[in-house]
Structure 1
Amino acid sequence: MKLDLEVLSECCKAKASKIVDAGVPYVRRILRFLALPYCFSKVNWKECTKTKIEVAFDFLYIFFRLKYFPDNYSPCRLWEKSKAEWVYYYGSNYDPYQRRQLRKAVQPAAYEIVFQDKVVSEMLCKANQIPTPKIMRVVKDGQPIEGVAADLAREGVERLIFKPRFGKGGGGIICTEFRDGKVKAISRGEEVSIARIAAKGEMVVQEFINQHKDMSKISASTNTIRAVTIRRSNGEVLIVGTYARFGVGSSKVDNLSQGGICVAADINTGKLAPSGFDRLSHVFEMHPTSGLAFIGYQIPLWDGVINLAKKVHSSFEFYPLLGMDIAVTEHGPVIIEINSGYDNVDLEQAQGPILRNLQVYEAYTEYDLLINKYQRNLKHSQQGS
């Protein structure tokens, strides 16, 4: 019997790869355990009503019993909720057990590049007739942005946004405006000297959108709706949750990581919840800059927002779980970004635990995404509570 060494080698590589893949979540869990003090440092102790000892025991309960990293403890203000409620929280998509299940079934790593590369994403959106801001230029690493902004200003485009081609979370974004014959640059809400700014890595350049006047009433930043969708095995696109994000002060972006506020938006009506939150666990009943109250505020063109979210997901059926950022203009909703790996903590901070929704619970069960026996045994959840 002739031994095919090439086939044997490939079989050994495949088995070794499976062993490594199986072990990765456990190694990451050990690293997460060692990182528990990081979560402790992120608790807003001015807001938290529990003692540090009580919080430490809460962290251990969440980590070992519910099997997720308690980085949602402070944002979701879990000290205010009973432990019976904690099981309905899915936690961060980046946690080891969640990540393992999501990778297997609904967020395949092989397709992430489709959404992470803004140039590729824009091309595919155009091919599927999905409205999205046009990429006007791609700026090379190290190229000064002043000249690019000046060239486009001469073409009549005076307000621009420069984004890292592969960035996320609002990091590295620079906005420019052409005023009084000069290009002005704004970063993190502050005007900065444009002469010293060069692209760090490739950047895409888009025209700054003019959002709907009803969105500008709350905040002058470009405010988006984060819609999270899951495509069920029967082809139905289910809305997991929706929330609005608003920038604060003079910021041009609304990302929570850049100081923004998240407010739940009713999936059926598009009306805002009574309260919003920031990453520091502060609660806001009105926008701190505009003073406008959140409760019941109507997001404009809401049906269009939901329809666009479903259309986007139907166009990318190979990726069953997506997050997307949608801006609303006077002419209708547009896709700002499609997220292959959104952070679920922000969603649950805004609207509460996603497994409280019976349809979401059933969809997550269908894909075997639940990560502990307590979630799998939520019989009362299936009865609609």
Structure 2
Amino acid sequence: MKIDVENVVRRSAKRVGQYCFHLGHGAEARKVLLAIESKYGKADPANLRLADNYARDVFGDPVYAPWLRVYTAFCGTFKEGWIPDNYYGSVVVPHMKGWYGKISSLKPISRLIFDGDALPDVAYYANGLFFTDRSIVVPERELRDVVFEHAERVVFKLDGSMQGNGVYVFDRTNFDPAMIRSLGNGVIQKFIDQHPMFNAFASKPVATLRFTTVVDDNGCISMRACFLRLGRADDTHVLTDREICVPVNPVTGELAAEGYLSDWGALDAHPDSGVRFAGLKIPQFEQCVATVLRLHSKIPFARCVGWDLTVDVDERVQVMEWNGEHNDVKFSEATQGPCFSDLKWERLKPVR
């Protein structure tokens, strides 16, 4: 019998990749669980057993238990319908997005897809060419004038940048096209002067709203979760390991009374400015929701999308980027979930 060596190697590599993926998630979840229990006390063993049983009975594998345990410890109870973050990444993403979600990492094509003023894009660099948001190629000697025609500062984001990495801030004096070339393909966006409410928390990093939207089996698009990401006073942009995340009421746009540090520790005010979260409402919240729903209608084949946007000083919604791949669901599931229980994602089978 002839053996297809290439196919065997490919399947073996995929199995190793999946093993490492779940191993990493398990280690991260256990670290978070320890942090939560050190701050809020030991979780009820009976509730943790419910999480373990749910992973085995509903998702078919105990490898999905660690994030369910985190959600359980955080909430103080177990809730049916939660989606473990590694199940979302390994099962839901391939089924609901596949290769179509990966286009979100190619930042120069966003304007071609969405075609509107909601994006702060002013120029792009890809495959040796600089070009405007209207796909007009710009000679390198003219790039600085084009980029700073309507902005004093700009942000360059590499394709595939995430968690605050691959992000660079320039003004006219230190902007260097040669440096952009050396960094790689990406988008040049105007630096956003954020709304005064966000500015009160921290003036340097632009606050980011993370909206999660989904397309159900009938083609209906809905917003399922929202939280505010705030940077620290000395950071130029929001960094994942230093951010403060504050749940946002998806109906009213009001901030929760407590936000959370990267170690899941709770606090009722920004640690640098002292501005409290309770009683504040996201400006132009209804317009933010309308914007992400409208944009998702242009890419319904990416069935679940994480949108990063903000509101500027003139109260205009600015969509900074979108994530059609493994957008994080664990914070939303723990603080606002179950967010996706009606979609029957637990019935999906791993893609072979």
Q: Shorter-chain TM-score: which interval? A: 0.7 to 0.9
Which residue number corresponds to residue 287 of structure 1? Answer: 270
1:56 Cα deviation from its structure 2 partner: 10
Which residue number corresponds to residue 119 of structure 1? Answer: 108
Work out the CA distance in 2 between the residues paired with 1:327 and 1:334.
Answer: 5
Give the stretch that moved more between structures: 147-156 or 196-205: 147-156
- Match for 1:238: what amino acid? S
Work out the CA distance in 2 between the residues paired with 1:35 and 1:217.
Answer: 35
Work out the CA distance in 2 between the residues paired with 1:268 and 1:231.
Answer: 18
Residues 106 and 186, structure 2, Cα contact 8 Å, conserved in 1: no
Residues 215 and 300, structure 1, Cα contact 8 Å, conserved in 2: no
- Provide closer, same or farther for how the CA distance between residues 103 and 119 of structure 1 changes in structure 2, counting only shifts above 3 A: same
- Match for 2:91: what amino acid? R
1:260 Cα deviation from its structure 2 partner: 0.9
Whether 2:120 is the aligned partner of 1:133: answer yes
Residues 40 and 56, structure 1, Cα contact 8 Å, conserved in 2: no
- Provide closer, same or farther for how the CA distance between residues 162 and 286 of structure 1 changes in structure 2, counting only shifts above 3 A: same
Which residue number corresponds to residue 174 of structure 1? Answer: 168
Q: Secondary structure at the match of 2:257?
A: strand
Q: Secondary structure at the match of 1:79?
A: helix
Counterparts of 1:13-92 in structure 2 under 5 Å? Answer: 20=11, 28=18, 32=22, 36-42=26-32, 43-44=34-35, 46-47=38-39, 49-50=41-42, 64=56, 67=62, 68=64, 70-71=66-67, 76=71, 78-85=72-79, 87-92=80-85
- Provide closer, same or farther for how the CA distance between residues 35 and 327 of structure 1 changes in structure 2, counting only shifts above 3 A: closer
Q: Deviations over 1:102-122 (max 9, x none)?
A: 422x22x22124311000112
Whether 2:318 is the aligned partner of 1:334: answer yes
Whether 2:192 is the aligned partner of 1:209: answer yes
Query: How many residues are paired up?
Result: 324
Which residue number corresponds to residue 222 of structure 2? Answer: 238
Which residue number corresponds to residue 223 of structure 1? Answer: 207
- Provide closer, same or farther for how the CA distance between residues 83 and 344 of structure 1 changes in structure 2, counting only shifts above 3 A: same
1:296 Cα deviation from its structure 2 partner: 2.3
Residues 276 and 284, structure 1, Cα contact 8 Å, conserved in 2: yes
Q: Deviations over 1:335-367 (max 9, x none)?
A: 111111201113224x33224xxxx422x12xx
Work out the CA distance in 1 between the residues paired with 2:146 and 2:288.
Answer: 30
Residues 50 and 78, structure 2, Cα contact 8 Å, conserved in 1: no
Residues 348 and 354, structure 1, Cα contact 8 Å, conserved in 2: yes
RMSD, aligned α-carbons: 4.1
Residues 255 and 280, structure 2, Cα contact 8 Å, conserved in 1: yes
Work out the CA distance in 2 between the residues paired with 1:302 and 1:118.
Answer: 25
Counterparts of 1:325-364 in structure 2 under 5 Å? Answer: 325-329=308-312, 330-341=314-325, 342-349=327-334, 351-355=335-339, 360-362=340-342, 364=343
Work out the CA distance in 2 between the residues paired with 1:148 and 1:173.
Answer: 23
Which residue number corresponds to residue 4 of structure 1? Answer: none
1:61 Cα deviation from its structure 2 partner: 6.1
Gaps of 5+ in 1: 1-8, 186-194, 373-385
Q: Secondary structure at the match of 1:240?
A: strand
- Provide closer, same or farther for how the CA distance between residues 38 and 292 of structure 1 changes in structure 2, counting only shifts above 3 A: closer
Q: Secondary structure at the match of 1:169?
A: coil
Whether 2:159 is the aligned partner of 1:165: answer yes
Counterparts of 1:253-268 in structure 2 under 5 Å? Answer: 253-255=237-239, 257-268=240-251
- Match for 2:209: what amino acid? I
1:160 Cα deviation from its structure 2 partner: 1.2
- Match for 2:168: what amino acid? I
1:283 Cα deviation from its structure 2 partner: 0.6
- Provide closer, same or farther for how the CA distance between residues 25 and 82 of structure 1 changes in structure 2, counting only shifts above 3 A: farther
Picking from 96, 99, 111, the partner of 1:110 is 99
Whether 2:281 is the aligned partner of 1:271: answer no
Residues 161 and 207, structure 1, Cα contact 8 Å, conserved in 2: yes
Residues 326 and 335, structure 1, Cα contact 8 Å, conserved in 2: yes
Counterparts of 1:93-104 in structure 2 under 5 Å? Answer: 95-96=86-87, 99-104=90-95
Work out the CA distance in 1 between the residues paired with 2:197 and 2:251.
Answer: 19
Work out the CA distance in 1 between the residues paired with 2:109 and 2:66.
Answer: 35
Q: Deviations over 1:175-204 (max 9, x none)?
A: 1235xxx4399xxxxxxxxx9998433232
Whether 2:286 is the aligned partner of 1:303: answer yes
Gaps of 5+ in 2: 131-140
Residues 108 and 126, structure 2, Cα contact 8 Å, conserved in 1: no
| TM-score, normalised relative to structure 2 | 0.76
Q: Secondary structure at the match of 2:212?
A: strand
